[in-house]
Amino acid sequence: MKNAIKRMKNAIQEIIEEIPQGRIFDSHYVINKLISEHSDVYLLFACELINSQETPKERDVTAYVNSQISLKIGDSDLATRVELDGEKAEFWSDNIRGNANKCAGWRKK
């Protein structure tokens, strides 16, 4: 699992580094870039999560994996969570299935 996490962190960092400083982006942007440009990393990370004992079996697997990726974005020192009126902002954008739903918003440092 450690290798999958390390590879995911590196891929996320690479994606965020390409974003101009000060720009706002959302988790769906990073997830879509992972799938299109780092699909092996995305799949390895997903497989490791699915096979771990920590994965809630009753949840939508894709939603769970993508929520874990969002947490990894938050662990990055390249972006901060966007806040509005002192609360974490939720963005509305299309997920990997093309369905609009909420996700975290980030600002590139």
Cβ–Cβ < 8 Å for 109, 78: yes
Of the candidates 28, 93, 34, 33, the one whose C-alpha atom is nearest the C-alpha of residue 63 is 28
Tell me 19's DSSP state: S
* Tokens, residue 42: 């995305």
Domain locations in the chain as residue ranges: 2-108
Q: How far apart are CA 57 and CA 47, in angstroms?
A: 13
Q: What is the pTM of this model?
A: 0.90
Tens digit of each residue's pLDDT (9 = 90 or more) over 9-60: 999 999 999 999 999 999 999 999 999 999 999 999 999 988 876 666 666 8
Q: What is the sign of the dihedral through the CA atoms of 109, 101, 65 and 11?
A: negative
